[in-house]
Chain A
Amino acid sequence: ETGVTQTPRHLVMGMTNKKSLKCEQHLGHNAMYWYKQSAKKPLELMFVYSLEERVENNSVPSRFSPECPNSSHLFLHLHTLQPEDSALYLCASSQVLGEAYEQYFGPGTRLTVT
C-alpha cells in the first residue's frame, strides 16, 4: 500500500459522541498535517507534527485532540463536537518540515455532526 490513507472515509456522529480519525502514510515522511476543508473556504491548517512532535496548533478548539504515536501514524480524536465542525478532514504528509516540499494528501474523512 502506498501514499496516505485515512479511515473512516465517512463519519456521522452526534454531539455527545467520541470518535477518532486515523491517518497513515507509507512514504517515509517526517512531517504530518491535519487540515479542515469546508465548502468554498480555504484549507484550514489545524495541527502540524514533525518527527512526532507537535509544532503547530492554530487555535483549534480543545474538542479536537491530535495524537502522533510514530512518524507514520496520526490520529484526530473528536469529542463533544458542534454542527459547524461538519467538514472534510484531510491528512497530509511531507518529506520534512521547514522546506518547500510538496504535501501528499489522503482522501479525507467526510464528517457530519448531527
Chain B
Amino acid sequence: GQNIDQPTEMTATEGAIVQINCTYQTSGFNGLFWYQQHAGEAPTFLSYNVLDGLEEKGRFSSFLSRSKGYSYLLLKELQMKDSASYLCASLDSNYQLIWGAGTKLIIKP
C-alpha cells in the first residue's frame, strides 16, 4: 500500500533549528513536496525534490534520499510565525499526491 509517515507534533524554540522527517512508500515516485499550513488557512507550497540531495531556499531546506524513501524539512532561525503544520506529500507513478497527516510545529519563545 501507499503510506507517508511524519511525526504528529514537534516543539522547538524561537531562533533554533528543527528538522521534520518524512518517510514514504508509494507506487512509483515522481518527487516529494512539502507544504506549510497555518491554522485555518490554505496549504502553501514550500519545496519540491525529485533528485537526491539538499535544496536550500532561505531559512528552509529540504532533503531527499530516494533509496531510503526519506525526506526532511529543515527550518533554521525559527520565528514565531513558523508555527504551523507541515505536510509531506509524495507524487506517485500516476502523478497523484499521497499526503501525510502533517506535523504540527509549535514554536516557543
Contact = CB atoms under 8 A, between A and B. Distances in A.
A55 B109 CA distance: 47
Contact of B4 (A42, A98, A100, A106): A42
Interface string A84-114: 0000001000000111101111111000000
Nearest to B95: A98
Contact of B97 (A40, A103, A107): A103
B42 A90 contact: yes
**Most chain B C-beta atoms within 10 Å of own C-beta, residue among A4, A99, A103, A107:** A103
Contact of B41 (A97, A102, A107): A107
Interface residues of A, number: 19
Interface residues of B, number: 24
A103 B45 contact: yes
Nearest to A33: B97
Nearest to A48: B96
Interface string B23-43: 000000011010000001111
Given A100-B30, A100-B31, A102-B33, A43 B45 contact: no
Contacts of A100: 30-31, 48, 50, 91, 95
B97 A45 contact: yes
A53 interface: no
Contacts of A90: 42-43
Given A43-B87, A103-B45, A56 B96 contact: yes
A98 B43 CA distance: 20
Contact of A102 (B8, B48, B98, B99): B48
Contact of A99 (B41, B95, B99, B101): B95
A78 to B, nearest CB: 20
A43 B95 contact: no
Interface in B55-109: 87, 89, 91, 95-102
Given A41-B101, A42-B4, A108-B42, 14 more contacts: A4-B42, A42-B100, A43-B97, A43-B99, A56-B96, A90-B42, A98-B95, A100-B48, A100-B50, A102-B33, A102-B48, A105-B43, A106-B42, A107-B42
